[in-house]
Chain A
Amino acid sequence: AQTVTQSQPEMSVQEAETVTLSCTYDTSENNYYLFWYKQPPSRQMILVIRQEAYKQQNATENRFSVNFQKAAKSFSLKISDSQLGDTAMYFCAFSTNNAGNMLTFGGGTRLMVKP
């Protein structure tokens, strides 16, 4: 069974600064996919960024980038130039074709961006 762990229940960052959210996972699979989802207060969950495990290059999406360390089973999210709209719960998630694409989520990190 796959597990996803987010060790930081809450974090805060000043507007315009950079913050890194941590995620570790455990799996015996070799081919899998990792995601960061954002869940703003009272709003629906949206995908922030995704990474295929077979790709060595770290994914980037504008201000969002990941540090994928396959051997260490680590998948952190870096948010640069933080904006007030980045305030949300962030969930790290894992899926594999062998599990029918179901997402296994971590417990989440609540990020507060302060003005």
Chain B
Amino acid sequence: EAGVAQSPRYKIIEKRQSVAFWCNPISGHATLYWYQQILGQGPKLLIQFQNNGVVDDSQLPKDRFSAERLKGVDSTLKIQPAKLEDSAVYLCASSLVLAGVTEQFFGPGTRLTVL
């Protein structure tokens, strides 16, 4: 079974530039999550999708971050414009169902450096 795929793995941009990250979840997984992991901290949820609908985006900085999952499969997370404090690893995860004990499977992450 293929795991969660993310690209790119690394990205370096200047502040005020735009960047987009792509995630392909495990086949059949209805729930998809984007987490931000700042160096030395635990991951923090940015947005959660159930199929192509948003379940929770309360911690997404909507003035600069946006995310979509148009066909209920792949997802894209965009930052426009980027700030220095956006430097972090962006993790995508997916799970089969929306249930508390269900395991979330994580991708390798995209490491973003904003200069």
Q: Which residues of A contact B (CB under 8 A)?
A: 4, 31-33, 37, 43-47, 50, 52, 91, 93, 95-97, 99-108
Contacts and interface: CB of A to CB of B under 8 A. Distances in A.
Given A101-B98, A103-B45, A47 B31 contact: no
A100 B31 CA distance: 10
Contacts, number: 65
Contacts of B42: 4, 91, 93, 105-108
Contacts of B50: 100
A44 B41 CA distance: 15
Contact of B107 (A4, A31, A44, A101): A44
Contacts of B109: 44
Interface string B19-35: 00000000000010101
Contacts of A104: 45
Contacts of A4: 42
Contacts of A95: 100
B contacts with A: majority SS: loop
12 contacts: A33-B100, A44-B4, A44-B106, A50-B101, A50-B103, A96-B100, A100-B48, A101-B48, A105-B42, A106-B42, A107-B42, A108-B40
A99 B56 contact: yes
Interface residues of B, number: 29
Contacts of B33: 102-103
B99 interface: yes
A67 to B, nearest CB: 19
Query: B91, B101, B108 — which one has the most chain A CB atoms within 10 A of its CB?
Result: B101
Given A32-B100, A50-B103, A52-B101, A101 B31 contact: yes
A23 B99 CA distance: 23
Interface string B81-112: 00000000001010100111111101111000
Contact of B100 (A101, A107, A108): A101
B99 A97 contact: yes
